[in-house]
Each structure stands twice: as structure tokens, then as C-alpha cells.
């Protein structure tokens, strides 16, 4: 009988190693192949024996002809006994007695048996898929008679993903076989690699065309996108970054200590060289300083011997050097530059790292250089994002699998943040006129953190619109939900207005507007009390390849007007005085308020600039806009009295001397008294140097930027 399809499927859980999903993997593969018409034998559970599995394999092997196909799948534990010196590998079944293998090597499910007596013996096409946990030295099959797809993780936690309930390799194999109507062995291997995995794939070239799922007839013409040069290294890059993250997360008491020759806490944490060594599987690593006197170690791992590699070390001049490898008869040294400075430079030296890393070339140098200036232990997800961002900036773009991985990481980081609220204060000359006008929602790593995660928030702009829109959607949802809870517990009967930052590109996104509309409706908020602040640092212009039907400001004006009609929210210009600040933007867009950046307060003509902003805000062709000056504190060169004299009635900043927080409360009475006194100028003995007439002795007209005594 021709064109038969056979499958032997084995899944063995292991309580000792916490291997939980191997049997589930096997059952899912069995169900799928049975639906595809395979004569499939399933072996799972504690009663599975090696002899039963071998009997089924031999039965299929002896009855096949050249038109048949055999698929052998194994999920579970793989071992390499000490006595075999790495030459023998066994796929573990419940009846395996490892202590007896040295005397009876054929008593288990031995890779040598699979190769010699089944896969090579099979008359037709044979494919082996192994998703195992075991020693990293297991390299799988060595034959060129059949195709093999092998993943062997170091432990159960790395092999399996509890979120999906499958082995990592198996999850992608199943997804590919279910998603596509026709899958070849080569197509399956490529699809798995596209997901960031790097399994061992072996076999003669003809096995790539072996059809596993679907008709074996002539395939339809395929349209293939041009490959990214980094595609071939996607799996290795992903694995290296994951290993760096895993080793950096080790508890301090468990992390091996380095044997640095000189303390330099600003450059390296005590275990930094050790976790880089462990993640790269290097013999040893060191942070070296290069000066005119040569190389000296700053920090080093155990077993590092500078004298042994000193003749191999070079430090070529120039900041464009990515690094290099040096070989001799005994060792290989990977040299990565970390920092260049006149008379002193830093270099990371890895002695005998994993061979696959050397094949990565420049990307591995960029990864290690970025790792050295990040803190994987403190914030592993953020550090991993920084590494992927550095790769993208250095090499133009990343393979899709790495792009998607970074996107999911970025979303996870954003969702871990907290939202706090900073009040906008209404000014007056008496304490009873000082009150909270509105609030601005601010993202923080935690509610107790006073610093904004500026670098992480701006990182979205490096990756493009998808990241920018996702960032703004996540923060919008958090801000509105947190504000609704805070108001419910707060002192006011009706909510104070709320401002939330947003990018130009997000306001051009229908997905963002839909999140805005849905959240406002779900929470029962008044949309008129929500103001979206558009930063002056954000350009209003089409992306390359986009065509806008109108001039940029007119196009964007119409977009904002449509959102205002549809949803009912208001808009503001934020950071006026920075970036793309212009009176035309302020005058032409449908705004309800203007936020002046604190940088204007430090300009020599600050008072005149604020007066011009006020005139523009009150222009007759528009409804009057509220003007808010940001960053006002006791160190501002322009006093509150001078700001008030420019007809400005609202400020925001440390003037309340209270940090932004996730709760809402009125301003304390003593704070109101202090602010009113500042507005009246009670503490001023004379005007500030900025606003007093320039002394005749002042040579160039430049005025000092400090306040008078």
C-alpha cells in the first residue's frame, strides 16, 4: 500500500524535574496528526515502556515502502549518562533505570537505536521532532538520512510555558500545523525560527520538501518577503538576551562573586562579569581598562588570567569599532568596546564564549555593550527593551519576531506603571482664592516614585506609530480608571478637570479614539472635563509616504474638531516654548488651554513672552484659552507676583511642596497662605534682577538669572 503516513508520539511528564506539559504536548500532536490521516500511536502516562515504543517504531519501519512517511515525536526528558562521555543520549521513559544503562545500554530509548534501526532504516521519508529538557550538550541526530527538528532546553522551566500549557517548541509547531493548509518540513522549521526559537535542524536538502500536513501535490506559487539580514540570527539573539535576563535575576546570595582587582562600583555591579560569563557560557570574562600603559583589569570572573591573553589583546582607535575576535591554538577571545574616552577606554573580554555567539558578529557586541549600561537585575523587562532598541538603532530594523517580542514587553512594562496626579493651582492674593483648578495625570514606575520614566516613555518614538499609539492607549486607560477611583474617594462632589498627555500620531489613530470613547462611557465621566495635552515637541506632519489632503495644521485642526464633536473632549498645547513651539500652532488649533514650559521662565525676556502668550490666548477669533505655567517652584527666576501680573491665574509644579500622588485632596490651608503671600510679593524686598532696569554698568545687556536678595 503506497503513500501511507505513520506517527509514533511519546510524551512523558516528570514530577522530579517539574516537567508538567510533555504528555499534553504529545496528546495534542497525536490528535492533530490523526485528523490528517496518520496511523498514529500515542504513548503517555506512567506505564509507558521503552520496549513498547521501540516495538511500534520497528513495526512501522519494517512495513514501509519508498512512498511512505514516518513522523517520530518525543516530549520529555533527555539524558546523557556520565559513563558515555557525551556520546550517548536517551529519551527518558518511566521505566528507565539510569544506573543499569552502562551494563545494558539498549534497555532504554536510545538515540542510536532511533537513528540506526528506525529513521535510517525507514524506506520512505522520516522526520524526528524532539522537544526535550536535558543537558545543553545534547545536539540530537548526526545522520543525513532523515529530517530532524530538535530543541533541548536546560531545564523544565525553560522548555515549557505555563501560560499556554505546552512546550515552547511544541506550541509553535502546533500553531503552524493548524494555521496553514499545507506544511512542509522546511516550512515548519522556518516558521518556528520566525518566532525567535533556534532549534537544531538537520537532514538532507530533499527533506525540506516533505509534506507533513496537506496535499503532496504541486504547491501554489509562494510569495516570500525579502529577508532581514538578522533573520538567520533571530533565535540566537533571543536566547542570549533571555539568558542574560535569567542570570541577572539570580538572588545576590546565589550569584557567583567576581574577583575584581579594583573596585569601581560606578562601572560594574559585583556580579556583572559573572552573569555575563554564565549567560555567554564563556570560560571567563573581565572588564578591562585600556590606557597608554596597556590593559588592566577592573573586574573579572573566576579563572580569568590576564597574562594568558594579554598578547592577544588589541584596542584599535576610533569610535566606530564594534569589536573583534582573536584566536590562537588554545583559546578564543571576544573583545567588545564599552566606552571610548581620551586617554582611557573600557573593553569587555570574553574568553572562549559559546561558539554560536561568535557567529552573530556585530549584533553580539551591541547586545553586550548595551547590557553593560543597563540594569537587568533591577528592571529586566526594561533592560531587555533597551537591548532590542539598541539593536534596532544600530542595524536599522529587527526581524518581525524580535519586533513583536519587544512590543509585548513594552506593553507589559507600561501596564506595570502607576498613575499619579499633580494639581494645577488657581492663583489669588488671598488664601481663600487659592484652590485646585484641575489635575494632570502622570505615569510613574510606582506611586512612591517622584521621577518620571522619561526615557522609557520616549522610547516608543524610536519604534514608530504602533508603539506610540499603544503607549498612549495604556496610559489613557490607567489614567481614567485611576482618576475615577480617586474621585470616588476624594473630597469633591463633582470631578475636577483632568489632563492626559497624548501624541499627535495617537490622535490620528482611530484605535486610540475608540479606547478614549469606551473608557469615558464605561466610567461615566464627563468628556468635557477631559483634556488631551499635545506636546509642542511632537511635530504635526505626515509620515514619509503619507498624503494629507490639506496643509498639516489645517488637516490636524479638522481631526481634532471631529474628535471633539464625536467624543466631547478638549485639547491643549503642552510644553509651549520647547520643540516645535509656534504661535501658529497655538492660534490655529481648537484648544481650550495652553501650558507654558518652565524653560520660558528662564529666558531673559520671560515676562514679555508670557504677555505675548496671554494676548494670543485671548485673541478675539477664538474662545479664551486658559494659560497654565508649568514647573513653577521657589527657584523660578520669575516670581509668582510677576507671573500673576501678566494676567496668568494658573500654575503647576512644586509650588504646593507636595509630590504628585494617586489620591486627590484640597490644598492645605498653610500652603494656601504661603502661595497667596508669594502672589502678593510679601517676601520680596525688591523686584527680581530679570525685571528691574538693566544697570548702566552691565556690559552686554545680559541679565543674571538669579533672584535678588
Supply the CATH number for residue 186's domain: 3.40.50.1460
Q: How far apart are CA 625 and CA 203, in angstroms?
A: 71
Range scoring the smallest mean pLDDT among 93-102, 466-475, 587-596: 587-596
Q: In Å, how far are 42, 133, 148, 186, 247 from 25, measured between CA atoms? A: 11, 13, 18, 21, 28
Q: Comparing 256 with 164, which gets the higher pLDDT?
A: 164
Q: How many alpha carbons fall within 13 Å on the CB side of residue 232?
A: 7
Domain stops at, among 216, 233, 264: 216
Pick the residue with more confidence: 61 or 609? 61
Compute the half-sphere exposure of residue 71: CA atoms within 13 Å on the CB side of its CA. Answer: 27
pLDDT above 70: percentage of residues in the chain: 86
Q: Is residue 181 scored above 50 in pLDDT?
A: yes
User: Which SS3 state, helix, strand or coil, does residue 421 take?
Assistant: strand
For the record, the C-alpha cell of 416 comes out as 506595570
CATH number at 580 reads 3.20.20.450
Does 144 lie in the same domain as 85? yes
Q: Which helix (H) or strand (E) holds 50?
A: helix 50-62
What would the mean pLDDT of 433-440 be, rounded to a whole number?
Answer: 94
CB neighbour class for 553 (10 Å; exposed up to 12, middle 13-18, buried from 19): middle
Same domain for 499 and 424: yes
Least confident interval from 11-20, 121-130, 561-570? 11-20
Task: Give the pLDDT confidence score for residue 266 in this predicted structure.
Answer: 40
Whether residues 453 and 374 share a domain: the answer is no
State the average pLDDT over residues 231-257: 72
- Write the pLDDT tens digit of every residue in 490-512: 999 888 999 999 999 999 999 99
458 lies in the same domain as 599: yes
Contact 302, 261 (CB under 8 A): no
- Last residue of some domain: 395, 427, 445? 395
- Structural domain boundaries enclosing 458: 417-680
Is the pLDDT confidence value at 614 over 60? yes
- Per-residue confidence at 588, pLDDT binned at 50, 70, 90? low
252 & 391 share domain: yes
Q: Is residue 508 part of a domain?
A: yes
Q: Which one has a higher pLDDT value, 247 or 621?
A: 247
Confidence band (pLDDT; 50, 70, 90) for 697? very low
Does the pLDDT of residue 251 top 80, yes or no?
no
C-alpha cell, 538: 511632537
Q: What is the pLDDT of residue 436?
A: 94
432 located within any domain: yes
Shared domain check, 96 and 170: yes
Long-range contacts of 704-707 (CB under 8 A, 24+ apart): 705/602, 705/604, 705/637, 706/637, 707/637, 707/639
**Pair (448, 547) in one structural domain:** yes
591 close to 571: Cβ distance less than 8 angstroms? yes
Q: Report which secondary-structure segment, H or E, holds 44.
A: strand 39-44
The cell numbers describing 38, all together, are 496518520
At 300, which CATH number?
A: 3.30.450
Rounded-to-integer distance, Cα 216 and Cα 209, Å: 9
298 in a structural domain: yes
Q: Are 40 and 4 in contact (CB under 8 A)?
A: no
Q: How far apart are CA 690 and CA 648, in angstroms?
A: 18
H-helix or E-strand spanning residue 363: helix 362-372
On whether both 22 and 95 belong to a single domain, the answer is: yes
pLDDT at 373: 84
Distances (CA, A) of 273 to 291, 351, 626, 630: 21, 12, 55, 44
Q: Which residue has the cell 527533506?
A: 207
pLDDT reading at 616 higher than 90: no
Q: What is the pLDDT of residue 343?
A: 74
Give the residue among 561, 608, 564, 617 at the shortest CA–CA distance from 587: 617
Distance between first and last Cα of the chain: 103
Grid coordinates given for 680: 502678593
Distance of CA 588 to the CA centre of its chain: 37
How confident is the model over 137-171, as pLDDT tens digits? 454 445 557 889 998 887 777 888 776 788 989 98
Mean pLDDT of 338-344: 78
Residue 411 lies in a domain: no
Distance CA 499, CA 628 (A): 12
Q: What is the pLDDT of residues 658-695, one digit of tens each?
A: 889 999 999 999 999 999 999 999 877 544 433 334 34
Alpha-carbon span 89 to 55, nearest angstrom: 19
Which of 182, 216, 250 is the C-terminal boundary of a domain? 216
User: pLDDT grade, residue 586 (50/70/90)?
Assistant: low
* Phi then psi dihedrals of residue 211, to 5 deg: -85, 120
Rounded CA-CA distance 521/567 in Å is: 10
Q: How far apart are CA 481 and CA 467, in angstroms?
A: 21
Q: How far apart are CA 191 and CA 169, in angstroms?
A: 11
Which grid coordinates belong to 364?
A: 553580539
Q: What is the pLDDT of residues 355-402, one digit of tens each?
A: 888 888 889 889 998 988 887 878 889 999 999 999 998 888 888 888
Cβ-contact 340, 369 below 8 angstroms: no
Higher pLDDT, residue 227 or 630 = 630
- Residue 268 is predicted with a pLDDT of 40
At residue 122's C-alpha, the angle toward residues 119 and 124, to 5°, is 115
Q: Domain check: are 489 and 375 in the same one?
A: no
Residue 124 lies in a domain: yes
Instruction: Report the C-alpha gap between 540 and 550 in whole angstroms.
Output: 12
Residue 626 reports pLDDT greater than 90:
no
Same domain, 17 and 95: yes
Whether 129 contacts 82, CB under 8 Å: no
pLDDT of residue 468: 96
Please state the rounded mean pLDDT for residues 621-628: 75
Residue pointed to by grid coordinates 483634556: 531
State how many domains the chain has.
3
Q: pLDDT (tens digit, 9 = 90+) per residue, 22-78? A: 999 999 999 999 988 899 999 999 999 999 999 999 999 998 888 899 999 999 999
| Angle formed at CA 409 by CA 355 and CA 393, multiple of 5 degrees | 65
Low-confidence winner among 174-183, 335-344, 532-541, 611-620 (lowest mean pLDDT): 611-620
Cell reading at 488:
470616588
- The answer to whether residues 207 and 114 belong to one domain is yes
Q: What is the DSSP letter of 433?
A: G
Tell me if 412 is assigned to some domain. no
Task: With a cut of 80, say whether residue 611 has pLDDT above it.
Answer: no
Examine the domain organization and report whether 162 and 70 are in the same domain: yes
Residues 6+ apart with CB under 8 A from 557: 588, 589, 590
The yes-or-no verdict on residue 264 having pLDDT over 60 is: no
Pairing of strands 109-110, 332-341: unpaired
Residue 42 CA: distances (Å) to CA of 8, 9, 39, 77, 93:
6, 5, 10, 17, 13
Average pLDDT across the chain, whole number: 83
Report if residue 120 sits inside a domain.
yes
Q: Does residue 190 lie in a domain region?
A: yes
pLDDT recorded at residue 129: 95
DSSP label of 631: S
CA 32 vs. chain centroid, Å, equals 34
Spatial CB neighbours of 543, under 8 Å, sequence gap ≥ 6: 465
CA distance 342 to 575: 37
Amino acid at each position: 500500500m503506497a503513500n501511507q503516513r505513520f506517527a509514533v508520539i511519546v510524551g512523558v511528564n516528570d514530577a522530579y524535574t517539574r516537567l508538567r506539559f510533555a504528555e499534553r504536548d504529545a496528546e495534542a500532536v497525536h490528535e492533530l496528526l490523526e485528523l490528517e490521516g496518520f496511523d498514529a500511536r500515542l504513548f503517555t502516562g506512567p506505564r509507558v515502556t521503552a520496549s513498547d515504543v521501540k516495538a511500534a517504531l520497528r513495526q512501522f519501519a519494517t512495513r514501509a515502502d519508498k512512498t511512505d512517511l514516518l513522523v517520530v515525536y518525543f516530549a520529555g526528558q533527555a539524558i546523557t549518562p556520565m559513563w558515555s562521555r557525551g556520546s550517548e543520549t536517551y529519551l527518558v521513559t518511566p521505566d528507565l533505570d539510569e544506573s543499569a544503562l552502562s551494563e545494558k545500554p539498549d534497555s532504554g530509548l536510545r538515540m542510536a537505536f532511533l537513528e540506526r534501526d528506525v529513521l535510517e532504516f525507514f524506506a520512505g521519508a522520516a522526520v524526528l521532532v524532539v522537544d526535550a529538557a536535558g543537558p545543553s550538550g545534547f545536539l540530537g541526530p548526526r545522520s543525513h538520512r532523515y529530517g530532524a527538528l530538535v530543541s533541548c532546553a536546560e531545564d523544565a522551566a525553560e522548555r515549557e510555558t505555563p501560560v499556554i500549557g505546552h512546550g515552547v517548541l511544541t506550541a509553535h509547531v502546533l500553531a503552524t500545523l493548524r494555521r496553514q493548509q499545507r506544511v512542509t518540513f522546511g516550512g515548519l522549521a522556518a516558521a518556528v525560527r520566525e518566532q525567535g526559537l533556534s532549534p537544531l535542524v538537520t537532514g538532507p536538502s530533499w527533506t525540506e520538501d516533505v509534506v507533513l500536513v496537506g496535499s503532496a501535490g504541486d504547491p501554489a506559487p509562494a510569495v516570500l518577503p525579502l529577508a532581514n539580514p538578522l533573520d538567520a540570527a533571530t533565535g540566537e539573539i533571543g536566547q542570549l538576551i533571555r539568558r542574560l535576563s535569567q542570570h541577572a535575576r539570580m538572588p545576590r546570595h546565589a550569584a557567583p562573586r567576581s574577583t575584581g582587582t579594583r573596585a569601581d562600583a560606578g562601572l560594574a555591579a559585583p556580579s556583572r562579569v559573572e552573569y555575563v560569563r554564565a549567560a555567554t557560557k564563556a570560560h571567563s570574562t573581565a572588564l578591562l581598562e585600556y590606557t597608554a600603559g596597556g590593559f588592566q583589569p577592573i573586574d573579572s570572573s573566576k579563572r580569568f588570567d590576564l597574562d594568558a591573553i594579554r598578547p592577544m589583546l588589541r584596542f584599535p582607535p576610533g569610535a566606530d569599532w564594534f569589536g573583534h575576535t582573536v584566536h590562537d591554538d588554545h583559546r578564543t577571545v571576544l573583545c567588545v568596546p564599552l566606552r571610548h574616552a581620551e586617554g582611557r577606554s573600557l573593553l569587555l573580554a570574553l574568553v572562549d564564549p559559546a561558539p554560536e555567539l561568535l557567529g552573530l558578529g556585530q549584533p553580539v557586541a551591541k547586545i553586550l555593550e548595551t547590557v553593560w549600561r543597563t540594569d537587568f537585575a533591577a528592571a529586566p523587562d526594561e533592560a531587555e527593551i533597551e537591548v532590542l532598541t539598541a539593536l534596532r538603532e544600530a542595524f536599522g530594523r529587527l526581524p518581525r519576531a524580535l519586533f513583536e517580542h519587544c512590543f509585548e514587553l513594552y506593553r507589559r512594562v507600561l501596564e506595570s506603571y502607576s498613575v499619579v496626579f499633580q494639581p494645577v493651582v488657581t492663583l489669588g492674593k488671598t488664601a481663600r482664592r487659592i484652590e485646585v483648578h484641575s489635575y494632570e495625570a502622570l505615569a510613574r514606575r510606582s506611586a512612591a516614585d517622584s521621577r518620571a520614566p522619561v526615557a522609557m516613555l520616549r522610547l516608543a518614538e524610536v519604534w514608530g506609530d504602533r508603539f506610540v499609539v499603544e503607549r498612549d492607549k495604556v496610559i489613557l486607560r490607567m489614567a481614567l480608571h485611576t482618576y475615577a477611583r480617586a474621585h470616588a474617594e476624594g473630597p469633591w462632589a463633582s470631578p475636577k478637570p483632568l489632563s492626559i498627555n497624548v501624541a499627535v500620531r495617537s490622535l490620528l489613530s482611530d484605535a486610540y479614539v475608540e479606547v478614549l470613547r469606551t473608557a469615558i462611557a464605561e466610567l461615566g465621566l464627563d468628556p468635557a472635563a477631559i483634556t488631551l495635552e499635545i506636546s509642542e515637541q511632537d511635530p504635526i506632519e505626515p509620515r514619509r509616504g503619507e498624503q494629507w489632503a490639506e496643509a498639516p495644521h489645517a488637516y490636524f485642526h479638522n481631526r481634532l474638531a471631529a474628535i471633539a464633536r464625536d467624543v466631547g473632549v478638549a485639547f491643549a498645547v503642552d510644553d509651549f516654548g520647547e520643540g516645535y513651539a509656534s504661535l501658529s500652532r497655538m492660534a490655529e488649533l481648537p484648544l481650550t488651554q495652553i501650558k507654558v514650559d518652565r524653560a520660558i521662565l528662564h529666558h531673559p525676556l520671560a515676562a514679555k513672552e508670557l504677555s505675548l502668550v496671554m494676548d494670543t490666548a485671548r485673541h478675539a477669533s477664538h474662545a479664551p484659552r486658559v494659560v497654565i505655567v508649568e514647573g513653577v517652584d521657589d527657584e523660578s527666576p520669575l516670581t509668582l507676583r510677576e507671573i500673576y501680573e501678566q494676567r496668568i491665574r494658573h500654575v503647576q509644579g512644586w509650588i504646593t511642596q507636595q509630590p504628585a500622588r494617586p489620591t486627590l485632596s484640597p490644598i492645605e490651608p498653610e500652603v494656601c497662605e504661603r502661595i497667596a503671600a508669594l502672589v502678593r510679593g510679601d517676601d520680596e524686598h525688591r523686584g527680581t534682577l530679570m525685571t528691574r532696569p538693566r544697570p548702566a554698568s552691565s556690559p552686554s545687556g545680559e541679565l543674571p538669572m538669579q533672584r535678588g536678595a
